[in-house]
A and B are shown apart, each in its own frame.
Chain A
Amino acid sequence: MSISAPRYGAAPVARTGRIHRTLAIVHRELLRRAGLGTILVLALTYLAVTLVLTINTDFASLTGSLTLATFETPYASPAWPFLMLIVATSVGAGSLAEDVGNRSITLYFSRPIRRIDYLAAKTAATGTWMVIAAVGPALLGLAVILALGWAPASLVLAGAGAFVATGLLASVFFTGLALALSSLTTRSLYAGVAIFGVVLSLEIGAPLVSGLTGNSSAAYASPITDILSVAQSAFGISGPFATDPLTSAALLAFGGGLLAIFAGWRISRVEVVGE
């Protein structure tokens, strides 16, 4: 008779691929941020944008001045970029910071999930919330207008395209910014303050520098100015714009991408240090 140690013999189980595993984190993140505050802000935004769009369109069609530019109203005011700022802060500031700060990231990193997949999941979840806030309300408003028959379908479709293009660009930028700043700290509060600080500093600082130096290209440094230029152009408003819309669009996309890459670089090096 021989005695031997027990051998591990669990039968191999078919596992899902990287995309499914990443989506599991996206799903969890989307639910995590679906708090009462976020839902309330979004509900008010949807209501406000739908009301502004429908009332404006009704008025414009009565006066015979209905054009694509009529739909621009919700995006014409700086209130919209600021709303994006609030959403980016509430859903993005804690995205990475909280996980590292409270060490729940440990639960992910001890699994067969690559750090880049983890970041992709966080980006997708934050980006989804940003798109829901940036594009969703306007599309709902347009759907109502179409259902009421207050504007021709072709015009509504063009308006939807403009909203999607502008909203996606803004979402890319704010998602990248939120993730990058969230990756720099272990406290979501600091990241939130930093998101506001960076955007507001650029908003105030860019015109100042532009005025002092006489160099109008400094205006490109303000993401809010860039977003408004892109929006005005997308809705067919003739210039002059504070910045060239195409250059602004490229800057927003490139800046957002670069910031997300920076967050990825940070996450690839993060070490979870204990107490």
Chain B
Amino acid sequence: MTGVVNADSVTKRYGEVLGLNRFTASFPSGITGLVGPNGAGKSTLFRLLAGQLRSDAGSLTLLGFPAWGQGEFRRRVGYCPEHAALFDWMTGFDFVTTLLRVDGFSRANAQERAGRAIETVGLTEARDRRLKAYSKGMRQRIKLAQCIAHDPELILLDEPLNGVDPVGRATLSALMRQLSTTGHHLIVSSHVLYEVERLTGQIVMISHGQAIAQGDLHRIRDLIDSHPHMVDLETPDPRGLARLLGAWDHVVSIEFAGPEKLRVLTRSPEAFYAALPALVVTENLAVRSVHSADDNLDAVFRYLAGGGR
């Protein structure tokens, strides 16, 4: 295997539970999407790659180095974890600067890079605010800033768009594409296939700790299309948003799932995700978060894992 990241029969157990089960895949250069439902083993793989976990069996390398440990090669890797407490008593700027200094940058260089990374993720106005005052979307952005600030060759992004508002998603997706055009290698995990599809055609699908498909995304697209896609939206005006979404012909149903929560079922997620940011901007809507449930994908994963039965 000659990928940027190579996994050969990697197994990771949490007691009786199998996190990864003889996972074998090769992640080539450019952007690769790691797609799978929640609990499939995506975060376990990322933690193994980030040197947080030690595999029980198999071989896992990134940039040619064994994944376990904190060697100097780590400066060539950026990691944006899905769940990690930030240093809440710090400002966003101090947070990124501190981690850059741990990376080995001088104070002046770290401050300069931190400012640039924060600007890249669109948080310049909030950079001097304490992290505890950041929204979920802002926290995702600042995590991304610390991940890219040292200009790493390999960038590991674990569910980077989770909890980010629609406009933010578009911005961050554009940033990821831009990074790939400058030769950075990105591995982006998501339980939402459509998010990944807009970034890359190169994917690894994971289910129950095993790689069940790898390669061109378009080959499995047809399987996905037959399943309606569920999207949860958080907004202070669910009725107003529901009225606008109801006019879209691919929207199958709309459910008020909470006082400020809307659950939408769409036949064409691609069209939905493409049109939503424009709707938010033109109608001046406040959509706080967009979350895609993965129930529909489960069916596809079961299908693939079952060998097409």
Residue numbers of A with Cβ under 8 A of B are 5-10, 13, 15-17, 20-21, 24-25, 27-28, 32, 102-115, 271-275
Contacts and interface: CB of A to CB of B under 8 A. Distances in A.
B144 to A, nearest CB: 13
Q: Output the residue of B70, B81, B184 with the most chain A CB within 10 A.
A: B70
B28 to A, nearest CB: 9
Nearest to A115: B70
B87 A104 contact: yes
A112 B81 CA distance: 16
14 contacts: A8-B182, A16-B101, A20-B101, A24-B102, A27-B98, A102-B85, A106-B52, A107-B81, A109-B50, A110-B79, A112-B71, A112-B73, A271-B53, A271-B54
B182 A6 contact: yes
B195 to A, nearest CB: 20
Contacts of B51: 109-110
A8 B183 contact: yes
B89 A110 contact: no
A16 B75 contact: no
B89 A32 contact: yes
Contact of A10 (B50, B52, B151, B180): B151
Nearest to A110: B79
A112 B103 contact: yes
A112 B86 contact: no
A103 B83 contact: yes
Contact of A113 (B29, B102, B106, B151): B102
B102 A111 contact: yes
A118 to B, nearest CB: 8
Contacts of A8: 153, 182-185
A103 B14 CA distance: 17
A165 B83 CA distance: 44
B86 A111 contact: no
Nearest to B82: A274
Given A6-B182, A274-B47, A111 B103 contact: yes
Contacts of B89: 32
Interface string B149-186: 00101000000000000000000000000001111110
Q: Output the residue of B29, B47, B106, B109 with the most chain A CB within 10 A.
A: B47
A110 B54 contact: no
B30 interface: yes
Binding site secondary structure of chain A: loop
A15 B79 CA distance: 19
Contacts of A271: 52-54
B118 to A, nearest CB: 16
Given A104-B86, A108-B102, A272 B183 contact: no
Nearest to A10: B151
Given A15-B75, A112-B74, A274-B47, A6 B181 contact: yes
Nearest to A7: B183
Interface residues of B, number: 47
B70 A112 contact: yes
A21 B102 contact: yes
Contacts of A102: 84-85
B183 A104 contact: no
A10 B104 CA distance: 16
A242 B93 CA distance: 53
A16 B104 contact: yes
B53 A16 contact: no
Contacts of A27: 98
B84 A10 contact: no
B106 A110 contact: no
Given A16-B106, A112-B104, A103 B79 contact: no
Interface in B102-130: 102-106, 109
A5 B30 contact: yes
Q: Output the residue of B72, B78, B102, B183 with the most chain A CB within 10 A.
A: B102
Contact of B75 (A6, A104, A109, A112): A112
A110 B79 CA distance: 7
Given A5-B30, A273-B53, A24 B101 contact: yes
A8 B150 CA distance: 13
B6 interface: no
Contact of B70 (A109, A272, A274): A109
Contacts of A112: 70-75, 103-104
B77 interface: yes
Contacts of A9: 182-183
Nearest to A24: B101
Contacts of A28: 87, 90, 98
A110 to B, nearest CB: 4
Given A16-B106, A106-B52, 15 more contacts: A6-B180, A6-B183, A8-B185, A15-B103, A15-B105, A25-B102, A32-B89, A103-B85, A104-B84, A107-B84, A107-B99, A108-B102, A110-B77, A274-B44, A275-B83
> Which 8 A-B residue pairs are closest in the complex by CB-CB distance?
A15-B104, A102-B85, A8-B183, A24-B101, A110-B79, A272-B52, A112-B74, A6-B183
Contacts of A20: 101, 104
B140 interface: no
A112 B74 CA distance: 5
A5 B29 contact: yes
Contacts of B52: 105-106, 109-110, 271-272
